[in-house]
Chains A and B, each alone.
Chain A
Amino acid sequence: MNGWKRFLQFAPLMAIVLLLAGCGEQGLSALDPMGPQSQWIFDNMLLSLYVMALVIVVVFVLFFIIIIRFRHKEGDDEYPEQVHGSTKLEVAWTVIPILLLAILAVPTITGQFYLSVGAEDIAEDEEDIGDLGDADEEIAEEDIAEDAYVIDVTAHQFWWEFDYPEGFTTGNEVYIPEGEEVVFQLEAEDVIHSFWVPALAGKVDNIPGVTNHLWLEADEPGVYMGKCAELCGPSHALMDFKLIAMEEDDYAAWNEEMQQEEEEPEETLAQQGREHFEEEGCLACHAVEGEGSAQGPTLTNFGDRNQIAGFLDYSEENLRDWIRDPGALKQGTNMPASPGLEDDELDAIIAYLDQLEAVDDETTEELEIQ
């Protein structure tokens, strides 16, 4: 694999690729892979690009020779020789493409097993090669390696729910430890969605009634952008999420913190906010620290969020607009507008939400820099 990589990196077309990698945002663009899955995909995309570039060059060179050399000249009205064909040439352009495709077919099949969850164990086990058919079936829980860290992802119109094995839930932002293989178990609540973190992995669909799996790994700590890739309604474009990879220790601390019981807010304003939050019936959809319903995104660590509702920058002003009339910002959202809310009540609620944190500010800053 390493030799392969080196070859690809020194191939002359690398210049174009570097140019391409210049496009797009780090942490989002798949041209700047940040994990083993996306690296594999990127390398093999380049492989296919090189093979295809060969085809393109041959066709284009022929084409331009033809349109320059064989133009009709004034006064030359004789018909050219009527050629029927050429067996030699025709065999050549049948066999050569087959060989080129064979080159691409190998990583296509091996990659399919490497990238899917559970199946790679079966593929590696030479003796069991006859049982390959099993990989076709839905992967049972026990097929996933026992030490794998599995996070349940449930997609909703238009937000993401992440359930951790430790029993707590986050909304729209998922935290993972860096350098560790994490398995996502993908489900959907209403319509089909598709879970995609371009910089880390390919996408796999969240389908109602079906359970899919995807594994990925982040090489470095950082904030990665995630998107919904399957049309799911009017606000499909705004169904973004964040994947936050943390250093192992930070992650452990965060995970511990998330499992804690809710602490009483320290400030009075936030305490009032908590009361309003309950009075207004927010808990009917938004749980905090496991208390309340899971109809909407859990707000346990809302204060840590990079974005409100997955796409608005985290600011007091945006949060105010959002709570007032979510539908105006995200068409088709299930969250109702709150026109009757007094300004001071809203301020209190915002103060309450802002102090719901599970990560200290220092770690957050570090992550953002990366």
Chain B
Amino acid sequence: MVSEATNTLKKSVFWDWMTTVDHKKIAILYLLAGTLFFLKAGLMAVIFRIQLIAPEMEFISGQTFNEFITMHGTLMLFLAVTPIFFAFMNFVVPLQIGARDVAFPFVNALGFWLFFLGGLLLSLSWFFGGAPDAGWTSYVPLASREFGGVGIDFYVLGLQISGFGTLVSGINFIVTIINMRAPGMTMMRLPLFCWTTLLTSILIVFAFTPLAAGLALLMLDRIFDAQFFIPGEGGNVVIWQHIFWIFGHPEVYILVLPAFGMISEVIPAFSKKRLFGYTSMVFAVLIIAFLSFMVWMHHMFTVGIGPIANSIFAISTMTIAVPTGIKIFNWLFTMWGGKLTFNTAMIFAASFVPTFVLGGVTGVMLAMAPVDHLYHDTYFVVAHFHYIIVGGIVLGIFAALFYWYPKMFGHKLNETLGMIMFWLFYIGFHLTFFIQHILGLVGMPRRVYTYLEGQGMDTMNFISTIGAFLMAVAVIILIINIVYSALKSEPVTVDDPWDARTLEWATHTPVPEYNFAQTPQVRSLDPVFYEKIHGNGKMKPAEPLDDIHMPSGSILPFFISLGLFIAGFGFISFHLDLFISPYVLIAIGGIVTFGSMGLRSMQTDHGYHISKETVEEMEKELS
């Protein structure tokens, strides 16, 4: 690849990817790792849906079922969807704001390796006495030492480490978007995807910190015999739920805001129209982000906190429907009067709108606190949040994947396979989850590994499982599509294969290491589209062509994370019977992590320059 022509040519492929600090390569690492966790979590879902296909099945035991649902939720939220979003954010945001990289490339790599090794640590639990089994929410006392298995130690430390990764990446994006915008790219010209990335990152900073605190308390309880959450010893189990949901509710918006951003990119691109009501869209996400911290107790209406508190949180929850409604109608009216091209990316994006409305209205129903006493902890809730997460977020991810794939990999995905996948997935999704609303109302609690015959739940569960199979087939078709397209697809040689609007389409395909040879001058919202109408179709440069300063790669992010991985495993091994003392593991891990950090502090590394001549040569070759 041309982009490797300079500094990276001397490295082996393996070493290059291990040490890369290039936001585009880190994006692909995130995408790969996230996809692996996504497939793993999806497979678990298929297995426990098989368990539920008929009443009183004995395909897996109650214990295994609990481990599967816990890991399904934890993996999907922390280790599949979040990293897949980070993949797109990493790839797209610097390009959309006209930057050469993120603000802190080293921290970016550190964020990835922390997330990945934290995820591996969590997954190791399968080989040491079983996965965590207290649900992804890990409510104490079920997650305490007395009632929960050793898997929960892996949950606590694995999430703590990968949470650090998410946290530093969030900080990185905030600084990047605030500081690294090209000349003329004012905040109110920022593409919606960048806005949602910014707000998601702010939410991460404010939400992952309480999670880190909560996990630290739980770790102290479990490993060092503290009593924060032990009733009868001065501890309080409800506090955990508060801490968890103060994190947990913003987490939902951490996931859904980037999906809003993706949809807001794809719909205008294929409607050939600018986003309807851009300003109100921006303020709607701002309000949603703000309100997301005001509603956590709606997860706890049945805990018995009292009618006053419940009423307040019920009303604050309902208010979120207003900005969300604004977004829905703005998307609809972006399409209204447009010239819509329904390729795979667009059909995913367009179908997001009505599907998300279905998830949203059940959200309002759930917000009615007294009625929530019926819905709470039943399949109605399961249906609701899967309508948001699958019908909203995953559809958004698929739209984004088909949309940005040519920029990321230099070829398009196959459209025929894409359409087959869409219909299978979409039908499968509704089959699986629509019926679950009713299952909840006829009395099926969530997280049950089986149900008895003659309770009126047999047919509906059967249908739901069939739907899950369809979704699994759709994902297999996606994988076939990726392989098939890699082998057979025509390479994309033009910069802007979709006739799109935002700045990432002004870069070459494949994107060179330095992104923009000259930083572009942005003159409007949708700068590329603006230049098509008002200019010659090319971005005007904001600076003369010169040597380009690039950051050097480093293996240290990997070692910092590896040290934490070893130390984390050391803390867990207090309750495992290992041949090696936990203290030794903690010491090794500490030395590796802090040693690497020390090394980084003492290193003098000013990066390197790509000479003007090389840039000119590469630009000629690419255009």
Contact = CB atoms under 8 A, between A and B. Distances in A.
A350 B231 CA distance: 38
A137 interface: yes
Contact of A81 (B62, B231, B337, B374): B337
Nearest to B311: A109
B342 interface: yes
Contacts of B62: 233-238, 331-332
B307 A30 contact: no
Contacts of A90: 277, 280, 326, 329-330
Interface residues of B, number: 96
B393 to A, nearest CB: 19
B357 A56 contact: yes
B329 A89 contact: yes
Contact of A30 (B306, B330, B443, B533): B443
B395 to A, nearest CB: 14
Contacts of A60: 354, 357
B445 A101 contact: no
A285 interface: no
Contact of A207 (B304, B321, B452, B455): B304
Contacts of A111: 368-371
A70 B376 contact: no
Given A55-B357, A202-B370, A236-B448, A190 B147 contact: yes
Contacts of B232: 208-209
B335 to A, nearest CB: 5
Interface in B41-83: 61-63, 65-66
A66 B364 CA distance: 26
A309 B583 CA distance: 45
Contacts of A237: 62, 445, 448-451
Interface in B159-174: none
Given A83-B337, A112-B370, A63 B332 contact: yes
Contacts of B142: 191-192, 231-233
A240 B135 CA distance: 20
Contact of A23 (B309, B378, B442): B442
B274 interface: yes
Interface in A57-101: 59-60, 62-63, 66-67, 70-73, 76, 79-86, 89-90, 93-94, 97-98, 101
Interface in A156-199: 157, 186, 190-192, 194, 196, 198-199
Contacts of B309: 136
A236 to B, nearest CB: 6
B325 A93 contact: yes
Given A66-B335, A203-B377, A107 B368 contact: yes
Contact of B373 (A24, A115, A236): A115
Given A24-B442, A31-B442, A191-B141, A66 B278 contact: no
Interface in B217-249: 231-232, 235-238
Contacts of B306: 116, 119, 135-137
Interface stretch (B312-320, B412-420, B588-596): B312-320
Interface in B452-499: 452, 454-457, 460
A202 B375 CA distance: 8
Contact of A80 (B134, B339, B376, B377): B339
Contact of A94 (B326, B370, B460): B326
Interface string B354-374: 100110011011011111111
Given A25-B455, A29-B441, A135-B307, A198 B353 contact: no
A80 B314 contact: no
A95 to B, nearest CB: 9
A48 B445 contact: no
A112 B306 CA distance: 9
A104 B368 contact: yes
A23 B456 contact: yes
Contacts of A81: 273, 337
Interface in A20-41: 20, 23-25, 28-31, 38, 40-41
Contacts of A198: 374, 442-443
Nearest to B332: A62
Given A135-B308, A229-B376, A233-B147, A72 B341 contact: yes
B303 A207 contact: yes
A231 B141 contact: no
Given A89-B333, A101-B319, A136-B306, A25 B456 contact: yes
Contacts of B333: 83, 86, 89
Contacts of B273: 80-83
A286 B346 CA distance: 64
B328 interface: yes
B336 interface: yes
A24 B443 contact: yes
Given A66-B332, A136-B308, A94 B322 contact: yes
A331 B130 CA distance: 16
B441 A30 contact: yes
B535 interface: no
B147 to A, nearest CB: 5
B361 A85 contact: no
Interface string B276-316: 11111000000000000000000000111111111100110
Interface in A267-296: none
Nearest to B284: A94
A114 B339 contact: no
A115 to B, nearest CB: 5
A49 interface: yes
Nearest to A199: B443
Contact of A72 (B231, B339, B448, B450): B339
Interface in A325-363: 331-332
Given A62-B332, A111-B371, A20 B438 contact: yes
Given A41-B373, A135-B307, A236-B448, 16 more contacts: A41-B371, A56-B358, A71-B339, A72-B339, A72-B341, A86-B277, A101-B318, A109-B315, A111-B369, A112-B369, A198-B374, A199-B443, A207-B304, A208-B141, A230-B139, A231-B447
6 contacts: A28-B456, A29-B441, A104-B364, A104-B367, A109-B311, A194-B377
Interface of B: 61-63, 65-66, 133-135, 139, 141-142, 147, 231-232, 235-238, 271-274, 276-280, 302-311, 314-315, 318-319, 321-322, 325-326, 328-330, 332-333, 335-342, 350, 353-354, 357-358, 361-362, 364-365, 367-374, 376-378, 438, 441-443, 445-452, 454-457, 460, 533
